[in-house]
Structures are given as structure tokens and as C-alpha cells.
Amino acid sequence: MTNKRQAEKIRAGNGFVAALDQSGGSTPKALALYGVPEDAYSSEAEMFDLIHAMRARIAQAPDFNGSKVIGAILFEMTMDREIGGKPSAQYLWEEREVVPFLKVDKGLEHASDGVRLMKPMPDLDALCARAARAGIFGTKMRSVIDAASATGIEAIVAQQFEVGRQILAHGLIPIIEPEVTISINDKAEAEALLLDALTRHLDALPTGTEVMLKLTLPEKAGCYDPLTRHPAVLRVVALSGGYSRDEANRRLAQNSGIVASFSRALTEGLSADQSDAEFNQTIGATIDSIHSASIAG
């Protein structure tokens, strides 16, 4: 029953998916933007304690609830910790009606043929089983496209769907994320190739199978409209990809049927030094702006 309710929340919910899944590699930058410099901690354990405190503060803000935030993507260590005295995934769903997802990839391989594939995930089955027990609804895995290479993009999409089928076998919904780097000169051409590859792989899924897609906001508004209508797609969400929140919101508002799944743009303007009132006011205004862009059109 919970999974059916969660699936409907993601399918038709009037809101966006928060990305709270910074990994070990991106955590120092996320903390620095939050006003916590690297000399404020002396070990990886302390670093992860600080980023968890930031995530927990966001999740417990009054406006972080299912009326505007329909889902949240967690880092593995966040899943294993508590928020508000409950296991994180349980807190999100039971206290906030926010559907919990888990980042499962282990980072990227070196660039080849214009793309960066995902590193092997030998422990994926065990992680998925643990996630299902923890109340996680779905997963997220990221790879990166740096050029309009037809063969490279096909390799990225093929790998994403291969791993996605492994995740589906555990009863979890995979978020397939082939990110297109926003600074490349041939971004629009890469997006056209990506649309074609994604459509072919979606068409090949068994009838009744559903996945989610997390995509870079495209150069051509409406580029991904066919994906939002595909029967194998539960929801299409967009990453901010390095755009400012204002620019990400502007682009998002031009693509109806796609909702946000922002990370850096979600935490922009937040600071560890803010009082609770200041913090809650800032994250509340951010949630309002991202929600408005998500439902535009």
C-alpha cells in the first residue's frame, strides 16, 4: 500500500524532488557553500557529520513537506542515519510525506568517447536489498555526457538501463540520470542523440515496467516532451547542473511536464550561521520558487 501511495505521489504529485545526495567527492564544496570551510573538520567522519546536520536541518524545515516536495534523494550514509529521532527514510515519509530515494552509483570512470560511464557497483544487490528494508522507494545513478558522440551516448544509456533492470528486480524504481554537461558547445546535438537513445531503450522495456528519468535542462524547450508522455516513464525530473537557481527555474518553467530535482540550486543561500528563523525563511522561499517553476505550464 505504501509503495502504491508513493508511486502515485511521484506520478501525479504537485511538487519536486529534492536532491540531498552529495557524495564524498562533492561534500567539501557543498559544505563550503554552506559556510563550513575545510579547516572546520579534520576527518571524513566529521565531514559527514556536518553534511548530515545540514540535510537534517533542511528536511526538518517547516516548508519541506509533501505539499511542495514530493521526493528526496539521499546519500547512503543519510539513509543509515536518523532525522528527528527516526531512520531518515522513515522520517521523510511518515513525518513529511516525502518519498525517499537513494543514490547508488559509486562515481564515474575516466572520460572515453565523449562520456563518463559509471564505475562498477559490485555491491548493488546488497545495497538495494538494504534500501528496500529501510523503506526506500527508488534509486538514482548518474553518468555524464561531455560531447555529442552517438556511440558514447548509446553506451551511457545502455549501461543505465542495464543497471536499472537490476534495481527493478528489487522492487525499486530507478532514476536514470545521463547528465549532459551544460558548458559543452554541442549540447543541443547531444540532447537530440540522448532523446533518441532513451526512447529506444524505453520502448524495449517489458510492458508495465516504469522508470524515472533525471535530465539536464535542455537547450530547446520541449525537447524531452515525448519522454514525459512515454508509458514506461513514471516521471521526468531535471537537475540544475551548475545553473544558478534563477536560470534553472527559468529553463524549467519552459519545459512543462518536467519537475525539478535540484541539489546545489536547492541549498543556494543557506548558511550554517543562520538562525533557525533565517534558515527556515530562506529554504521556504527557495522551495516556493522551485515549486512554482516545476508546475509552470
| Active site residue ranges | 177, 214
Q: Which amino acid is it at 159?
A: Q
Distances (CA, A) of 254 to 172, 214, 223: 30, 16, 10
State the cell numbers at 65. Answer: 513537506
Long-range contacts of 116-125 (CB under 8 A, 24+ apart): 116/143, 116/144, 116/146, 117/143, 117/155, 117/156, 117/159, 118/142, 118/143, 118/159, 118/160, 118/163, 121/163, 124/163, 124/166, 124/167, 125/166, 125/170
Q: How far apart are the first and last CA of the chain?
A: 31
Q: Facing residues of 233 across strands? A: 211
For 115, phi then psi, to 5°, come to -140, 165
- Strand 82-83 relative to strand 86-87: parallel, antiparallel, unpaired? antiparallel
CB 291 within 8 A of CB 49: no
C-alpha cell at 210: 516504469
Which residue spans within 146-190 are E strands per DSSP?
Answer: 173-180
In this structure, the chain runs to a length of: 297
The Cα–Cα gap between 217 and 246 comes to: 13
Query: CB-based contacts of 219: which residues, under 8 Å, 6+ apart?
Result: 187, 188, 191
Amino acid residing at 137:
F
The helix (run of H) or strand (run of E) holding residue 58 is helix 44-59
